[in-house]
Structure 1
Amino acid sequence: MGEPRVLYITGWLRSGSTMLGNVLGELPGVLHAGELHYLWQNGILKAGTNSTCGCGADVTACDLWSKVVTSTGGDRLGEARLMTLQQRALLRTRHTRDRIAESTGRVATAPGVAEAVGRTAGIYRTLAAHGGERLVVDGSKFPAEAAALLGRADLDVRVLHMVRDPRATAFSYAKAKDYIDPMSPARSSGFWTGFNLASELSGHAAPDRYLRVRHEDLCRDPRGTLARVLRFAGLDDAPPADADGNVTLGVNHTVTGNPDRLSAGPARIRADERWRTGLSARARAAATAPALPLLGRYGYPILT
């Protein structure tokens, strides 16, 4: 077996990465791991609010993850605590430029970085032997982590940057979900701008392994956009959805992510346009202002 092939999804939250990952996971040899970054905090230490695998079992009781964490030594609490500390100290969005400089060989790698991403690489290798032989999809959405992973010679990492209109994500953040508190429109769009800028920067570590996809294009043309993503990921499969975005989802083994990941059966890739009528003029303006530097770049109008 060669280097594990990984599709690392980055960008701001609530941009459709869970649905995309689950759809890709319907292909043979493709495993959607969900937000793997939180395996140690939520799954092992139970220090987060989302410790259930996509299959419905507790992560450490899941047939897949119990084998993965045991075989990689990830079940040791001390190591899990160290991993979460290193993630916070080295792999936050603010660390993206430093991790890019290291991945491109401009500076020496900071202490702890290789150790932290090495643990993640170990999980990828194990997943590649347990259902992800062709591709592991990681929807963690940490640009600094993506940049650090791109610098590893023992992985074949491709970064998929997902973008969604900031007004839509602000509307989504107006209500809490099972594991995320609500957020004001201005705060949501502030993070939207920071995460998307950092995601673009992460692609600078390896421009030929970076692709940006808009959520709206995935919903408008599901098969065409999925085909584009598959080719980028190095797969030649037909998209596992019809022209209208209909797909049948099986049980998955995602660590953390949108609660919708717990649902299986018929599903449809489609846009949620409720924000167009549900977002007040004041909230719309508050969500638009922080995102102004990137709206035109991503093809979103200022006025909606």
Structure 2
Amino acid sequence: MDSSRVLYVTGWCRSGTTLIGNLLNELDGVVHVGELYYLWRNGVLRDGTNSTCGCGTPVLQCPVWRDVLEQVGGVDLVGTARAWMRAQQQLVRTRHTMARLAESSGRKTAPPAVRQLGDRMNGLYQAIRGATGARVVVDSSKYPAEAALLAGRQETNIRILHVVRDPRATANSWLRPKLYIPAMSPARSTLYWTGFNAASELICRMFPEISLRLTYEDFVRDPRRALRAILGLLDLDAEPPVDANRIASLGINHTVTGNPDRLQRGDVQVRPDDRWPAQLPRRAAVTATALSLPLLTRYGYPVTPSSKASAVRQGV
């Protein structure tokens, strides 16, 4: 049986996916490449503020990515990057998820452009395996339409991890800008939360056998249990790289973009960030709560933050 896998992480940002990916990166045979969707814009064209590889060098100077790009970039790397970005904009925005699901499920025939993008993505994953020696590629791009496109391709052998966090916690996080991205209003953040998670929900429903839903809250509460669930999804017999005190040691990674925390090295403790009930202004909390219903309660989050409820659940 082919042991090669792609773990595609979907959901909305500020949900702990960078740390989850970097923890998996510590396992033999697993490589976390960060938000691969932005390889071309940020890494190749440097048309963004997050163009450093996780190893600390610019993506184009990183030996791993130089090797990968030599295989998939062709003689005109800039032209390849621009063509890839056009395809992304035209075919795998969140609004395209339903169309990609219809094709992956066999209800419709995928247009040539969609098949070509799928071939290119599969070739990119293969090049990454070749450059790193990994069997499992963790892609934390979080674009549901990409996951939907890949779900019907047997050669990609995808597994889908849907990570969910309380929308009021993500709204609170988005109030503060990061080094590479500006702040966002609670209303806008929650509308994105709803759209990305609703799209991810559709994928998990259609492909439950290759999907796992995990809440951020369950992950930080018991990272060893959460990681075991992910390893089960990947058919990997390995020990979670976190000790009983929720401490892990992180080494070098080759993430192409993502949360600046991806550059962190050494010992880290997986700790909950539950500051939002005290920090998020009441009006913002009400807005986020209203805009996220009914998904808020579906995922086990209380309408008021007086109780905690959720569990690691497969598929649905």
TM-score, shorter chain, exceeding 0.5: yes
Superposition map of 1:54-133 within 5 A = 54-73=54-73, 76-131=77-132, 133=134
Q: Structure 1: 5+ residue runs without aligned partners? A: none
One-letter amino acid of the counterpart of residue 217, structure 1: D
The Cα shift of 1:133 comes to: 2.7
4+ residue runs over 3 A deviation: 1-4
**Inter-partner Cα distance in structure 2 for 1:91 and 1:49:** 22
Amino acid at match of 1:288: T
CA distance in 2, matches of 1:168, 1:126: 37
Letter in 2 for 1:8: Y
Identity of aligned pairs, percent? 53
Question: Which amino acid in 1 is paired with 2:100?
Answer: R
Q: Does 1:19 align with 2:19?
A: yes
SS of equivalent to 1:60: helix
The count of corresponding residues between Structure 1 and Structure 2 is: 304
* Deviation (angstroms), 1:256: 0.6
Displacement of 1:134: 2.6
1:162 is aligned to 2:163: yes
Q: Give the secondary-structure state (helix, strand or coil) at the position aligned to 1:160.
A: strand
Distance 1:213 1:31, change over 3 A: same
User: Does 1:53 pair with 2:73?
Assistant: no
In structure 2, C-alpha distance between the alignment counterparts of 1:235 and 1:4, rounded to whole Å: 11
User: Matched residues in 1 for 2:296 and 2:133: separation?
Assistant: 36
Q: Name the Cα RMSD after superposition.
A: 1.4
Superimposed CA distance per residue, residues 109-131 of structure 1 (whole angstroms, 9 cap, x where no aligned partner): 02311222222211111122233
Q: Which deviates further from its counterpart, 86-95 or 127-136?
A: 127-136
Identify the residue that residue 201 of structure 1 maps to in structure 2.
202
Q: Assess if the C-alpha contact under 8 Å between 2:204 and 2:211 holds in 1.
A: yes
Give, in whole Å, the separation in 2 of the partners of 1:220 and 1:254.
25
In 2, distance between residues paired with 1:161 and 1:12?
9
Cα displacement (A) at 1:72:
1.6
1:292 is matched with 293
User: Does the CA-based 8 Å contact 2:3-2:135 persist in structure 1?
Assistant: no
Query: Retained in 1: the 8 A contact 2:172–2:186?
Result: yes
Contact 1:147 1:203 (8 Å CA) reproduced: no
How far did residue 205 of structure 1 move? 4.2
Shift of 1:2: 3.6
Contact 1:92 1:144 in 2 (8 A): yes
Does the 8 A contact of 1:222 with 1:244 survive in 2?
A: no
Secondary structure of residue in 2 paired with 1:24: helix
Partner of 1:280: 281
Contact 2:29 2:134 in 1 (8 A): yes
- Distance 1:190-1:95 versus aligned 2 partners, 3 A rule: same
Instruction: Kindly indicate whether residue 27 of structure 2 is the aligned counterpart of residue 30 of structure 1.
Output: no
Q: Please tell me whether the aligned partners of residues 219 and 269 of structure 1 are also in contact (alpha carbons under 8 angstroms).
A: yes
Deviations 1:269-303 (A, max 9, x none): 11111212111111111111110110111000001
8 Å Cα contact 2:64-2:132 kept in structure 1: no
Change (3 A) 1:132 1:6: farther
C-alpha deviation, 1:3, in angstroms = 6.9
Whether the aligned pair in 2 keeps the contact of 1:96 and 1:147 (CA below 8 Å) is yes
Letter in 1 for 2:9: I
User: 1:243 aligns to what?
Assistant: 244
TM-score by length of 2: 0.93
Deviates more, 1:68-77 or 1:39-48: 68-77
Shift of 1:135: 0.9
Is the deviation greater in 11-20 or in 227-236?
A: 227-236
CA distance in structure 2 between the aligned counterparts of 1:2 and 1:67, rounded to whole angstroms: 24
Specify the alignment match of 1:191 in structure 2: 192
Structure 2: gaps of 5 or more residues: 306-316
Q: Deviations over 1:45-102 (max 9, x none)?
A: 1112211100110001001001101122266211110110110110000000000000
Output the TM-score relative to the length of structure 1: 0.97
